Structure 1
Amino acid sequence: MTEAVVDDIVAVLPPLLNALEALGFFARHLHPPAFASVINAIGAPDEALQAARGAIGDWPEQFAVLRNRLDGACNETLAAFAGIRAVERGNGDLVAVFRALRQVPRAQEALYPLSTQFPPVSNFFLNAANRGNEGLLARLETGASEHTGIFHDHNEPGSRGGFSVYVPEYYRPDRGWPLVMALHGGSGNGRGFLWSWLRDARSSGAILVAPTATGQTWALMGDDSDTPNLMRILETVCSSWTIDTSRMLLTGMSDGGTFSYVSGLDGASPFTHLAPVSATFHPLMAEMADARRLQGLPTFITHGKLDWMFPVQTARQTQATLSAAGAEVTYREIDDLSHTYPREINAELLQWLNGGLAAS
């Protein structure tokens, strides 16, 4: 690698990673009444990234793939900031903010392949507790094979019914691995939602599956076309990698969390644990659920006290209803969480899945 290329990478990676961290903070703490204060909290990391991105010179053709990935990550990150800044100036609304944030997983997808070459990128894709974990970093670097990493099956942007999967680079087939199936929110897609969980799956050693609904959102009313599709996806994954069938988590955000109830409370569901996040629940779901399925079913409910779409009272009532029906319910109410995804809960969910957390 030439000195000029190295200098460009050294110059652009820190502001790129800082900008992505800032976008992650913004997405987590976004609450409509607090929009201005969250914007102020993240500062202007996009300005530093714009300057570093603009200073990159021409690279030899042999580094074209690396350059394209770096450019893609920078451009998607800057596009996300541009959309948010437009709303900050009064041009757009909350929908425009969510649209801008769709660029963030695209930036991460462009950047992730560089984690094998650059330790700062690899560290970025670990949760905070494992950054600097030299043993884990070494396993990640030496263990990669053609059967590990990120795969997409009919899950291109705009498509429906496909799935994305992440398999830790240090995966070995001689033991069972916990599985997390994470369902996106309404109008979302699995390819994007994968990144809400990847850091923790990579840090803790879990196989992560992120399906896309067959319709614009999950089948919450009418015929259920999604559960059969989830079972097809699960069968495909279990036939390709060694899954510990005693540790299979079905989780989801918003509509995805609600559908984890709809599908996961079915008596035939193979999932051992349910973890809806920022979801809604109708008492009829408990009445219609298989009573034997509910007995002792590990269920972890996460909800924000500031949730403006599904008020927190819904989650409190759900906790009471499911506990009364015999489920083992763990409940987390997060004071500063609005209707956004709290990535900090993932590590606790994996610890719970692995038997390290008692219900409360």
Structure 2
Amino acid sequence: MEDRELEDLAVVAPALLQALEALGFVARYLNPPDLPQVMQAVEGRDADLRASLGRLASWPESLAQLRGPLQTAGAEALAAFDEFGEAGDLRAIFRALRHPPRAQEALYPLAAVLPPVSRFFLEPAMRADAGLQARFAQAPPRADTGVMHVDNAPGSRGGFSMYVPETYTPDVAWPLVVALHGGSGNGRAFLWSWLRDARSHGAILVAPTAVGGTWALAGADLDTPNLNRIVDGVRGQWNIDPARLLLTGLSDGGTFSYVTGLEPHSPFTHLAPIAASFHPMIAQMADPGRIAGLPIHLAHGELDWMFPIDVARQAYEALSAAGAAVTYREIADLSHTYPRELNPEILDWLRATPRPAPG
């Protein structure tokens, strides 16, 4: 790179990463009564990116592999801000938030060559860990690591996306996190709710997409056999710790983690439903041998407008009474959104509470 391109990069990259952080703030703190304040908090956070992104247009074709991801990620980030400005209701804001995962997917390949991007894709508390950064910088390329998509093109159903840390070695058994998206979502986007934490703490991450429009909460259950097939395939290719197979999910995904995770022959050793619905019969109908001592990390926001906090309190009481080992977290400032800051706690809990694989 010439000096001019280096100067451009020094301007564009920080502006892009700051814009993505602002979009993450919206996704985390989006609560209908607080919508004006949330939008005001990120007002203008796109200005530096808008002013600088055009600097990439004159880069030579020899830098296309660097320029292209930056341009795509920048365009997706700006599209989200543009749609915020045109949004008239909460649903429109949620539609705008489809862009940040696309921006992160475009940007992630540059983590291997740009240290600021690599740090962005780490848990914030670990971004100053020089040793961790060095391990990623020194990791040799492998065909079986990084971000992968299996039958999970945009708009498709029943496939999955996954992330295997570039530091993976097959001589170590790795925890597996299977993360289920919310209603009308997809695994390709939900992957980014967990990637930086799986990358920071050393876990293999799988984000499936439901077979139907959402998870099988009514009617024929096509999702449980599909999840089992996916998990079997992952366990056949990577070294997975048999005592640490976590099923987690948001909203409908959290509810389905109860439905399938409490099945007698479920492969999962741990469950972590977030912002999930619950009915006491779920616990009452669960196989006693399955639920006894089962580690469940239950988290819910006190501001949840879709499934009020009393739903989670009822779940805690019913699951505990049925014999599950429940860790319960109420989050005071959380609405019906995903609390990414909770992921490190869940991974620490997963490591601290090993449980033999079912069966």
Taking only aligned residues, the RMSD between alpha carbons, in angstroms, comes to: 1.1
Correspondence 1:300 to 2:297: yes
Partner of 1:107: 103
Partner of 1:202: 199
Partner of 1:323: 320
Correspondence 1:287 to 2:274: no
Q: Which structure 2 residues correspond to residues 21-100 of structure 1 after superposition, within 5 A?
A: 21-87=21-87, 92-100=88-96
Counterpart of 2:152 in 1: which secondary structure? coil
1:141 to 133, 137, 143: 137
Partner of 1:179: 176
CA distance in 2, matches of 1:59, 1:13: 15
CA distance in 1, matches of 2:142, 2:6: 26
Partner of 2:357: none
CA distance in 2, matches of 1:70, 1:56: 8
Contact 1:190–1:212 (Cα < 8 Å) also in 2: yes
State the identity %. Answer: 60
CA distance in 2, matches of 1:69, 1:345: 29
Contact 1:308–1:339 (Cα < 8 Å) also in 2: yes
Runs of 4+ in 1 over 4 A off after TM superposition: none
2:125 to 122, 129, 141: 129
Could you give the per-residue CA deviations for residues 308-330 of structure 1, whole angstroms, max 9, x where no partner exists? 00000000000000000000000
Could you give the per-residue CA deviations for residues 314-350 of structure 1, whole angstroms, max 9, x where no partner exists? 0000000000000000000000000000001100000
Amino acid at match of 1:134: A
2:222 to 211, 225, 228: 225
Q: How much does 1:57 deviate?
A: 4.1
Counterpart of 2:24 in 1: which secondary structure? helix
Q: How much does 1:356 deviate?
A: 6.7
CA distance in 1, matches of 2:161, 2:235: 14
Contact 2:56–2:67 (Cα < 8 Å) also in 1: no
Unaligned runs of 5+ in 2: 355-359
Amino acid at match of 1:188: G
Partner of 1:12: 12
CA distance in 2, matches of 1:214, 1:350: 27
Q: Which structure 2 residues correspond to residues 233-272 of structure 1 after superposition, within 5 A?
A: 233-272=230-269
Amino acid at match of 1:41: A
2:159 to 143, 157, 162: 162
Amino acid at match of 1:121: V
Amino acid at match of 2:315: T
Contact 2:273–2:299 (Cα < 8 Å) also in 1: yes
Amino acid at match of 2:78: L
Could you give the per-residue CA deviations for residues 113-156 of structure 1, whole angstroms, max 9, x where no partner exists? 00111110000000011102111111111114221101100001
Q: How much does 1:43 deviate?
A: 3.3
CA distance in 1, matches of 2:48, 2:192: 24
Q: How much does 1:56 deviate?
A: 3.3
CA distance in 2, matches of 1:171, 1:48: 36
CA distance in 2, matches of 1:73, 1:345: 26
Counterpart of 1:158 in 2: which secondary structure? coil
Correspondence 1:215 to 2:212: yes
Q: How much does 1:65 deviate?
A: 2.2
Q: How much does 1:2 deviate?
A: 2.1
Contact 1:8–1:57 (Cα < 8 Å) also in 2: no
CA distance in 2, matches of 1:138, 1:172: 16
Correspondence 1:343 to 2:349: no
CA distance in 2, matches of 1:138, 1:210: 27
CA distance in 2, matches of 1:244, 1:183: 20
Unaligned runs of 5+ in 1: none
Which sits farther off after the overlay, 107-116 or 284-293?
Answer: 284-293
Q: How much does 1:238 deviate?
A: 0.7
Could you give the per-residue CA deviations for residues 230-254 of structure 1, whole angstroms, max 9, x where no partner exists? 0010011111110001001000000
Counterpart of 1:213 in 2: which secondary structure? coil
TM-score (norm 1): 0.96
Contact 1:151–1:165 (Cα < 8 Å) also in 2: yes
Contact 2:195–2:205 (Cα < 8 Å) also in 1: yes
* Number of aligned residue pairs: 353
Counterpart of 2:340 in 1: which secondary structure? coil
TM-score (norm 2): 0.97
Which sits farther off after the overlay, 183-192 or 34-43?
Answer: 34-43
